[in-house]
Copies of this chain bind each other. A is one copy, B any other.
Amino acid sequence: MKTLIVHAHPEPRSLNSALKDLAVETLTRAGHEVRVSDLYAMHWKPVVDAADYGPHASSPLRVAADSGRAFEAGALTEDVRAEQEKLLWADTVIFQFPLWWYAMPAILKGWVDRVFTYRFAYGVGEHSDTKYGERYGEGTLAGKRALLSVTVGGPEPHYAARGINGPIDDLLFPIHHGILFYPGIEPVSPFVLYGTDRLTEEEFPDVAKAWRERLLMLESTEPIPFRRQNFGDYAIPSLQLREGLEPAGRSGFGLHVR
């Protein structure tokens, strides 16, 4: 595999950083190529603004259109071009981050906001009677896979089907489906560690063992079977799931899993 690890934690001696280091070591030893985007270490600029598009920034700024023009002209800033190049190089992307307020840390959201430009990650492909752009299973990054490795402070039952925080699969759906599957990346089931606020050093070897096993299985793990957009499951252009395709009682985000 050619694996890109996108890492988002401010402390190099944190659990998240230990998991990132372990992933580099485990995958490298197994003969895979690994590159790391350590966003804090890189001082990643997290905010989209006119400076991202240089002479292609219009006035007033139009984020989608301007980012697309700058992308097509090869004129995005060097930091963004480097990340797009890494994504094109990789066949597998691992995201290592703590769940902060039920979502990514800002620095990682800012990586998505800036790297996933128009014409690269969205605004790709033609629209017709049978196709609504290349997205949700098609697109620039089709054929690649992703794995979220997420640390969660609270205990697992709080994230279960009836848990107060909401089911973890639903909390991660906007990332798995909305961010990754949209430009074509197929995510596998996430590696989630719960109760990490109370995790002790004595417990780390078990965590490390589980993480190594997931990493070594990654190549043969089936992705989450999200429905592809342009292959009959959705009406076009309303993009409503056709009636009767889902198992009885399934609703919400779960509709979009086959």
Contact = CB atoms under 8 A, between A and B. Distances in A.
Interface string A92-114: 00000010111111110110110
* Identical subunits present: 2
Interface in A28-59: 40, 46-50
B100 A113 contact: yes
A177 B166 contact: yes
B252 A47 contact: no
**Residue with the greatest number of chain B CB neighbours at <10 A, chosen from A136, A229, A238:** A238
Interface of A: 10-14, 40, 46-50, 60-64, 98, 100-107, 109-110, 112-113, 116, 136, 153, 155, 157-158, 160-167, 170-171, 173-174, 177-179, 182, 197, 229, 234, 237-241, 243, 249, 251-256
B252 A253 contact: yes
A163 B132 CA distance: 13
Given A164-B239, A166-B252, A10 B48 contact: yes
Contacts of A252: 161, 166-167, 170, 251-254
A251 B252 CA distance: 9
